[in-house]
């Protein structure tokens, strides 16, 4: 079957009457990916709303983030190692915090310092050390990861705290500062939280902080030789204003009896 020329394009004869005539008048890329704000008579299929672009989206910044209760700083292995090792090793309760991580506990301080050096060199994940400002002690680690600046999306993960810092304002403000960076400064559209589906504490923390449960990825990973089903949670820029107000009210007011979980459950 011979091709026939139509304008600047060669097409099969039996397709001539079936091809949208406008297809032959526009560049090939635009023909394949037309930018339409909504459905039309010629294209009745539904499409998503247009997204307002931003200029030059960037990844989270490797810098110091300061709150009232915590400071998040870029990992410094030499300065951080002694306190972070003591915070996460030495007894079964402390070492339990590594259960759902793909690394740790470490055989000795030198091994953990080697891991921190790898963290320092990494840009995704971007690791930060958590310091309790009142105690002046390093008490944990957090990170931005799976950073997709072009899609304005990021995940918060690799999060752990010493037992004495758990269930305090340290965790809440650490995440608050990271969410402020993600939504207020970077203008990202989505922040994710993922954890082992068996990690009940992490799942409860995600809901308490305002993330919405999105489902289970079955047989998602193999961690330490074992199956991991992964629970997915996320927060969007549309969710953020109400969640931000709840976080600030819980963190920085003197109201008694506030339950952040209850406040965010009502969203």
CA angle 101, 130, 226 (to 5 degrees): 5
Q: Do the domain assignments include residue 205?
A: yes
Lowest mean pLDDT among 13-17, 70-74, 93-97: 13-17
What is the chain's mean pLDDT, rounded?
90
CATH number of the domain within which 120 lies: 3.40.630.30
The answer to the question of residue 14 being in a domain is no
In a domain, 179, yes or no: yes
Judge whether 8 lies within some domain.
Answer: no
pTM, 2 dp: 0.84
Residue 259 sits in which domain range?
Answer: 65-265
Residue 196's H or E segment, with its range, is strand 190-196
User: Quick one: average pLDDT of 46-75?
Assistant: 97
Mean pLDDT of 196-214: 98
Residue 60 is assigned to a structural domain of this protein: no
Q: Please check whether residue 56 lies inside any domain of the structure.
A: no
Order of all β-strands in the sheet with 153-161? 65-66, 70-74, 126-132, 137-148, 153-161, 190-196, 226-236, 212-223
Domain assignment present for residue 1? The answer is no
- List pLDDT tens digits, range 222-247: 999 999 999 999 999 999 999 999 99
Q: What is the pLDDT of residues 139-183, one digit of tens each?
A: 999 999 999 999 999 999 999 999 999 989 999 999 999 999 999
In a domain, 77, yes or no: yes
Domain count, the chain: 1
* The predicted structure's pLDDT at residue 209: 97
In terms of pLDDT, which residue wins out, 250 or 266?
250
> What tens digit of pLDDT does each residue of 84-121 get?
999 999 999 999 999 999 999 999 999 999 999 999 99
């Amino acid at each position: 079957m011979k091709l026939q020329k139509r304008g600047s394009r060669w097409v099969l004869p039996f397709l001539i009457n079936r091809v949208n005539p406008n297809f032959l008048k526009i560049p090939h890329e635009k023909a394949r990916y037309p930018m339409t704000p909504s459905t039309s008579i010629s294209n009745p299929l539904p499409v998503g709303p247009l997204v307002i672009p931003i200029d030059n989206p960037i990844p989270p910044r490797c810098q110091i983030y300061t709150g009232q209760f915590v400071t998040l700083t870029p990992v410094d292995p030499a300065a951080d190692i002694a306190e972070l090792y003591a915070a996460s090793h030495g007894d079964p309760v402390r070492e339990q915090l590594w259960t759902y991580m793909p690394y740790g506990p470490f055989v000795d301080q030198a091994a953990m310092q080697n891991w921190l050096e790898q963290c320092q060199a990494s840009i995704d994940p971007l690791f930060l050390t958590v310091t309790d400002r009142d105690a002046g002690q390093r008490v944990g680690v957090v990170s931005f990861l799976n950073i997709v600046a072009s899609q304005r999306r990021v995940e918060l993960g690799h999060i752990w705290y010493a037992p004495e810092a758990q269930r305090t304002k340290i965790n809440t403000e650490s995440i608050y500062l990271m969410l402020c960076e993600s939504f207020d400064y970077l203008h990202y559209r989505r922040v994710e939280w993922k954890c082992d589906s068996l990690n009940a504490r992490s799942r409860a923390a995600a809901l308490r902080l305002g993330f919405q449960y999105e489902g289970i990825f079955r047989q998602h990973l193999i961690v330490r030789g074992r199956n991991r089903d992964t629970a997915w949670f996320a927060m969007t820029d549309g969710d953020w204003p109400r969640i931000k107000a709840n976080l600030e009210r819980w963190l920085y007011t003197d109201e008694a009896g506030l339950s952040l979980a209850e406040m965010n459950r009502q969203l």
